[in-house]
Amino acid sequence: MEPQTFNFIFLQQQYPALTLRTASPAEFRPFKILEPQLVSVLEQGSAEFKAASNEEVFLLECSQKPAAVCSIVTTCNHLKQEPRKYYARIDFVITQPTMRGMGAGRMVLLGALSHLLAQQSSSLYSISCLAGHAAVAHILTSLNFNSKEKPGQTFVHQEFKISEESEKLLANQVNESAFETAKLLHYRLRQRSGKPHD
């Protein structure tokens, strides 16, 4: 029976070729070079904003090779009341060119969201993203994020407002989608290697 919460340990136990973990700045850097047009919210923020923020970077490895990363910045809004006084921004989702179309970007994004919700959902009031790629926007739309697209912008602003009720719905959707994505990614990797069946 599958656990209710998708987690990094489950992924590697079920699919040994897939590893999802936090990444160091050195591991993150080569991915950022692949997408120089993307700008981090931390690069644009004030010193006060940076001091109130925490960045986590998640790395998906396929057969021990870096495949995709997702970074999430969580910030404290001192104007909000406890317990929900934090908001999270999905900052980067970047996939290695050789892994695009396989589901690696989707896997790392869902894994990062699952981890975020498991650790901090009760203190969050919002998760948002300025999606610079249609694939990221599509994933978030499938999770019921609200989209705001303006003419002339190169990104889609997406947001999920969190309440006690909606956090459970989102967590269930994220975990369910993560299980399915892991299964599909595993199959596609085996298909690529010439071994489509277990």
Strand partners of residue 130: 157
> What is the predicted pLDDT for the residue at 1?
32
**Do residues 160 and 142 touch, judged by C-beta distance below 8 A?**
no
pTM of the model: 0.91
Least Cα distance to 2 among 132, 182, 157, 124 occurs for: 182
DSSP string, the chain: ---SS--HHHHHHH-TTEEEEE--HHHHHHHHHH-TT---HHHHS-HHHHHTEEEEEEEEEETTEEEEEEEEEEEE-TTSPSS--EEEEEEEEEE-GGGTTTTHHHHHHHHHHHHHHHHHGGGEEEEEEEE-SHHHHHHHHHTT-EEE--TT-SSEEEEEE--HHHHHHHHHHHHHHHHHHHHHHHHHHHHHTT----
> What is the predicted pLDDT for the residue at 76?
94
> What is the predicted pLDDT for the residue at 196?
59
For residue 196, what are the CA distances in angstroms to 20, 146, 150, 193?
22, 37, 42, 8
The verdict on domain 8-192 having CATH code 3.40.630.30 is yes
Domain boundaries, the chain: 8-192
Spatial separation of the C-alpha atoms in residues 129 and 93, rounded to whole Å: 10
> Could you read off the pLDDT tens digit of each residue along the chain, which spans 198 residues?
333 467 888 888 899 999 999 999 999 999 999 999 888 998 888 888 888 899 999 999 999 999 999 999 999 998 998 889 999 999 999 999 999 999 999 999 999 999 999 999 899 999 999 998 899 999 999 999 999 877 777 788 999 999 989 999 999 999 999 999 999 999 999 998 887 555
CA atoms within 13 A on the CB side of 54: 8
**Do residues 129 and 136 touch, judged by C-beta distance below 8 A?**
yes
Spatial separation of the C-alpha atoms in residues 88 and 150, rounded to whole Å: 22
